[in-house]
Amino acid sequence: MTPEIIVDPETDATATYAVSPSSVRALTARVVCAPRPEWATTRTPLTGGPIAALPLSTPADVTMAVAAARAAQRGWARTPMEVRSGIMLRFHDLVLERQVEILDYIQLESGKTRAHAFEEIIDVAAVARHYARSAGGYLRARRHAGAFPLLSQSVESAIPKGVVGVVSPWNFPFTLAITDLIPALMAGNAVVLRPDLQTTLTALKGVELLARAGLPEGVLQVVVGEGPTVGQAVVDQVDYVCYTGSTATGRRVAQSAAARLVGASLELGGKNTLYVRADADLDRAVAGAVRSAFASAGQLCMHTERLVVHEKVYAEFLRRFVPAVRAMKLGADLAYGADMGSLLSQQQLDRTVAHVEDARGKGAVVLTGGRWRPDVGPFFYEPTVLEGVSAEMVCRDEETFGPVVSVYRVASDDDAVRLANDTDYGLNASIFTRDVRAGRALARRIACGTVNINEGYAAAWGSVAAPMGGMKSSGLGRRHGAEGIRKYTESQNVTAQHLLGFAPPFGMDDERWAKGLTLAMGAMKSLGRR
């Protein structure tokens, strides 16, 4: 069967597969748009066939969405934490119960395999559960030492920012649309979400399930449209911006937010290294490298694009790795079984082909792959392994964001660290070694936000109580854990002063008061007070 769904706003002519036209209409009804909007038709990368016609928002619609969110946020901020937690726990259950339908949306819109789409199901459920159970602890009021012991009582509170804008990309349409707004909501904010146009239905499915779980009307608004217009309008009006996407666009988002003195968190590009040490378990390293290089057809910010192997195991590693890559099965079915899916678009395919052909033309060797596969689908490209990549080749330093990995031989751990750090990016890295202590020591020398030991990316990403984010040109701020929710709040210090104040007591002159305070400061130091 061909995965095609088309909901035409004029004729309602439909061809169904897996997801009904009525469900698509129900989802698109959640978009904030004019009564007679313009429409855009999206197409599945799996076959090139149409998926759905989507109503488009305008910058004026964004203004309406932000105003509605702001009005709803005041009541939501007063909602007890246990009520918010209950909503997220019900949402957790709904995601797992309705996963078949969600998986269909993810595959149809992004082109990834069923197994790679399932990563998003687990991730969203895990983040929902984590913040449902941990948000109260992360945001609880904290007492601090005051200026005067006992007499100054200082309490720090976490106050919601107000309206948070989440601008999400296409490559992880469920995860990146939903998991960033979960902590924002749990912190008492309202959210305006602008998902990527290509993957809007997947995001809307998550929004629908949040409503079913009990999220009050108005707290979560959705606008649909292109980044330079609708996305920019979100950035220009909200109280905090959460953006995931390219480094070039991230810089513009940061500039826009800075001009308004509002905060922003940015998860951007990566040129990630996986290092196979001389003592690595090669079977484990091969399996991990295959997953890390070719998950979601390489359209994953944390995936491996540089495979660095110690010279002592280089030949043996390649003897196992290259056949494993060559044996990968490409597939467009909405079912489990394929090892790798499609690139998203002609643009992604063109970039991948250009990087491979540039490297091939300048002397790199294609060990396997390097071919477009239109027999599978319009944007399928074989998983590709390059050897002999050098500095003049585009793929050496630029992010390919496709199923291409370059292999490098190194003579030592020091050489591996130098190569891992020889990039403008600093998002993710991986080290395969039998000596975890040595792996942790190496990890601290690599300038990136997450490092996995004996795993490619899933261990660090899936540890949702720990922070995840980038250094250098890979972004600002962190998602997950305490930082992932506190960023959506303002710290407020309320200090009550009792009895003795900061002016000299009655009858004491300024000089005697100053001497008394000087003695008190010395005493507090001697007592070890902070």
- Residues 240-299: tens digit of each pLDDT: 999 999 999 999 999 999 999 999 999 999 999 999 999 999 999 999 999 999 999 999
Query: Using CA atoms, how far apart are residues 211 and 208, in angstroms rounded to an integer?
Result: 5
Q: What is the percent of the chain with per-residue pLDDT over 70, rounded to a whole number?
A: 97
Helix or strand (DSSP H, E) at 518: helix 510-526
- Whole-number Å distance between alpha carbons of 399 and 278: 27
pLDDT exceeds cutoff 80 at 5: no
pLDDT value, residue 6: 55
Q: What's the pLDDT at 311?
A: 98
**What mean pLDDT do residues 83-109 have?**
97
Measured CA to CA, the distance from residue 126 to residue 96 in angstroms comes to 10
Contact between residue 33 and residue 64 where contact means Cβ atoms under 8 Å apart: no
Per-residue pLDDT, averaged over 147-166, amounts to 95
Q: If you count them, how many residues does the chain have?
A: 530
Mean pLDDT value of segment 119-134 = 98
DSSP per position, 261-317: T-EEEEE----EEEEE-TT--HHHHHHHHHHHHHGGGG--TTSEEEEEEETTTHHHH
pLDDT of residue 2: 40
> Which is nearest to 114 in space by CA: 289, 286, 291, 296?
296
pLDDT value of residue 306:
98
**55-268+483-489 CATH, one of 3.30.450.40, 3.30.70.120, 3.40.605.10, 3.90.180.10:** 3.40.605.10
pLDDT above 60 for 449: yes
Domain locations in the chain? 55-268+483-489, 272-467
Question: What pLDDT is attached to residue 31?
Answer: 98
Distance CA 111, CA 106 (A): 7
What per-residue confidence (pLDDT) applies to 7?
A: 52
Q: Are 91 and 210 in contact (CB under 8 A)?
A: yes
| pLDDT at residue 3 greater than cutoff 50 | no
- DSSP 3-state of 8: coil
Q: What is the pLDDT of residue 150?
A: 87
Query: So what's the pLDDT on residue 506?
Result: 83
pLDDT above 90: percentage of residues in the chain: 91
User: CA gyration radius for the chain?
Assistant: 26
Note the pLDDT tens digit of each residue in 470-496.
999 999 999 999 999 999 999 999 999
| 18 pLDDT more than 90 | no
What pLDDT shows up at residue 21?
Answer: 82
pLDDT higher at 530 or 290: 290
Cβ atoms of 233 and 59 within 8 Å: the answer is yes
Q: What is the pLDDT of residue 356?
A: 98
The pLDDT, as a whole number, for residue 499 is: 86
- The residues, ordered by sequence, that sit 6+ positions from 200 with a Cβ below 8 Å of its Cβ are 28, 31, 42, 54, 109, 224
Q: Which residues are catalytic?
A: 267, 301
Three-state SS for 143-180 is EEECCCCCCEEEEEEEEECCEEEEECCCCCCCHHHHCC
Higher pLDDT, 16 or 101: 101
Residues 447-452, mean pLDDT to the nearest whole number: 98
Distance of CA 257 to the CA centre of its chain: 19
Question: 199-242 pLDDT, tens per residue?
Answer: 999 999 999 999 999 999 999 999 999 999 999 999 999 999 99
In Å, how far from its chain's centre is CA 305?
18
Q: Is the pLDDT of residue 103 over 50?
A: yes
| pLDDT value at residue 59 | 98
**DSSP one-letter code for 475:** E
Residue 105's pLDDT is what? Answer: 96
Out of 8-17, 143-152, 438-447, which region has the weakest mean confidence (pLDDT)? 8-17
Distance CA 19, CA 426 (A): 39
Q: What confidence category does residue 9 fall into, taking pLDDT thresholds of 50, 70 and 90?
A: very low
Across the range 372-391, mean pLDDT stands at 98
Position 226 scores a pLDDT of 96
CATH number of the structural domain 272-467:
3.40.309.10
Model pLDDT, residue 378 = 97
CB count in 10 Å sphere of residue 477: 18
pLDDT of 10 above 80: no
pLDDT at 88 over 80: yes
Whole-number average pLDDT of the chain: 95
